[in-house]
Chains A and B, each alone.
Chain A
Amino acid sequence: MSQARFGRGDRVRVRRADVPGHLRTPRYIRGHEGEVERICGFFANPEELAFNRHGLPRRALYRVRFRQADVWPDYDGPATDTIDVEIYEHWLEQA
Chain B
Amino acid sequence: MSGHTHHDHHDHDHDHPHPTQPDVDGPLTYHQRLEIAVRELMIEKGVLTADEVRRTVEAMDARSPAGGARVVARAWTDPAYKQTLMTDPSRALNQVGVEVGLYKLVVVENTDAVHNLVVCTLCSCYPRAILGLPPDWYKSRAYRSRAVREPRTVMAEFGLEIPDDVAVRVHDSTADMRYLVLPKRPKGTEGWSETRLAGIVTRDTMIGVAEARLP
Q: Do chains A and B touch in the complex (CB under 8 A)?
A: yes
Chain A residues in the interface with B (C-beta under 8 A): 24-26, 28-29, 40-41, 43, 46, 61, 63, 68, 72, 75-78, 80-88
Render B163-193 as a binary contact track against A, CB cut-off 8 A, 1 for contact: 0110111111111110000000000000000
Are the C-beta atoms of A40 and B169 separated by less than 8 Å? no
Known: A81-B169, A83-B169. 15 other contacts (CB 8 A): A40-B106, A43-B175, A61-B175, A63-B106, A68-B168, A68-B170, A72-B149, A76-B153, A77-B152, A78-B167, A81-B152, A84-B170, A85-B174, A86-B173, A87-B174
Chain B positions within 8 Å of A81 at CB level: 151-152, 167-170
Are the C-beta atoms of B122 and A88 separated by less than 8 Å? no
The smallest C-beta distance from A75 to any residue of chain B, in angstroms, reads 7
The smallest C-beta distance from B191 to any residue of chain A, in angstroms, reads 34
Are the C-beta atoms of B175 and A77 separated by less than 8 Å? no
Chain B positions within 8 Å of A68 at CB level: 168, 170
The smallest C-beta distance from A18 to any residue of chain B, in angstroms, reads 16
Chain A positions within 8 Å of B164 at CB level: 77-78
Q: List 10 A-B contacts (CB under 8 A).
A: A24-B122, A24-B174, A24-B175, A25-B174, A28-B121, A72-B149, A75-B149, A78-B168, A81-B169, A85-B172
Render B84-101 as a binary contact track against A, CB cut-off 8 A, 1 for contact: 000000000000000000
CA distance A88 to B165 in the complex (A): 32
CA distance A25 to B121 in the complex (A): 10
CA distance A86 to B174 in the complex (A): 6
Chain B residues in the interface with A (C-beta under 8 A): 104, 106, 121-122, 148-153, 164-165, 167-177
Within the complex, which residue of B104, B149, B151 is in contact with A41, where a contact is CB–CB below 8 Å? B104
The smallest C-beta distance from B113 to any residue of chain A, in angstroms, reads 9
In the complex, the 8 A-B pairs of residues with the closest C-beta atoms, listed nearest first: A80-B167, A86-B175, A83-B170, A81-B168, A86-B174, A85-B172, A84-B171, A43-B176
CA distance A28 to B148 in the complex (A): 9
Chain A positions within 8 Å of B175 at CB level: 24, 40, 43, 46, 61, 86-88
Chain A positions within 8 Å of B165 at CB level: 78
Chain A positions within 8 Å of B176 at CB level: 40-41, 43, 61, 86
Within the complex, which residue of A63, A72, A83 is in contact with B177, where a contact is CB–CB below 8 Å? A63
Q: Which residue of A lies closest to B147 (CB)?
A: A83
Q: Which residue of B lies closest to A25 (CB)?
A: B174
The smallest C-beta distance from A60 to any residue of chain B, in angstroms, reads 11
CA distance A66 to B121 in the complex (A): 16
Q: Which residue of B lies closest to A78 (CB)?
A: B164
